[in-house]
Amino acid sequence: MKTAVIVYPGSNCDRDAAMAIERVTGTAPAMVWHGEPSLPEGLDFIMVPGGFSYGDYLRSGAIAARSPITADLIKKAESGVPVLGVCNGFQILTETGLLPGTLMRNSGLRFVCEKAPVLVETTNSRFTRAYGESRELTIPIAHHDGNFFADDETLNRIEGEGQVAFRYANNPNGSARDIAGVTNAAGNVLGMMPHPERAVDADHGGTDGLKLFESVLGGAS
């Protein structure tokens, strides 16, 4: 199992991401600095972690989406490598165009950190197949710009195509149709605002995020 976590200036969930991956695979991921010209070859999984890349300046994720390493990320995602973007990682992935929609400021205008009830919308995905019957999860959220927005046509399409992976049970940020996580049409790229990497340890945020990593990391090995 060969995995990588991209580290942008201002990424701050990179260590959490690495710990979660290592917990499931037994092997530490490669930590790839944004200034590197490319990601390692032969990766089975790439994670774009949360944080405040470039201080959220200009627009969350906008500058990171144009960072040198991101060009290679887009190439690898388009070739089918599974990619998970969490929080700021989700924002970056929408900025690259790999995922539909965008993340606006929370409707309450304040940063929100809580353990959020999240519904698994489909278990028919490489990121959620291990969830089986357990539909409602508790996963920590922590963001200022998590209000998912897309036009109705896009929303209808992604719902119709089964690209909505997670919804909030109690919408904390005004997201359209309670959407908490979406995949691309091919199903190999997932972006989500809740932090599954903070829910892999009973002593920390619970273990409801573990199956996501098991789904995507277990199957490909």
205 in contact with other proteins (CB under 8 A) = yes
Q: 204 near 140, Cβ under 8 Å?
A: no
Tokens of 135: 């539909």
19 in contact with other proteins (CB under 8 A) = yes
Contact stretch for other proteins (CB under 8 A) within 68-76, 138-146, 147-155, 158-166: 138-146
* Dist. CA 103–CA 149, nearest whole Å: 6
58 in contact with other proteins (CB under 8 A) = no
54 in contact with other proteins (CB under 8 A) = yes
Nearest distance, CB of residue 56 and other proteins, angstroms: 7
Distances (CA, A) of 78 to 184, 204, 216: 10, 34, 17
Is 159 assigned a catalytic role? no
Of the CA atoms within 13 Å of residue 216, those in its CB half-sphere come to 29
Is 195 assigned a catalytic role? yes
* Dist. CA 2–CA 6, nearest whole Å: 14
Nearer residue to other proteins within complex by CB, 75 or 110: 110
Q: Indicate which residue of 13, 34, 121, 195 is catalytic.
A: 195
201 in contact with other proteins (CB under 8 A) = yes
* Dist. CA 13–CA 19, nearest whole Å: 10
Tokens of 97: 């165009």
Is 214 assigned a catalytic role? no
114 in contact with other proteins (CB under 8 A) = yes
Write the CB contacts of 206 (distance below 8 Å, at least 6 apart in sequence): 115, 138, 139, 199
Nearer residue to other proteins within complex by CB, 30 or 74: 30
140 in contact with other proteins (CB under 8 A) = yes
Q: Tokens 């909505």 — which residue?
A: 164
55 in contact with other proteins (CB under 8 A) = yes
Residue positions annotated with a catalytic role: 87, 195, 197
List residues near other proteins by CB under 8 A: 9-10, 12-13, 15-16, 19-20, 35, 50-52, 54-57, 110-115, 140, 142, 144, 195, 197-198, 201, 203-205
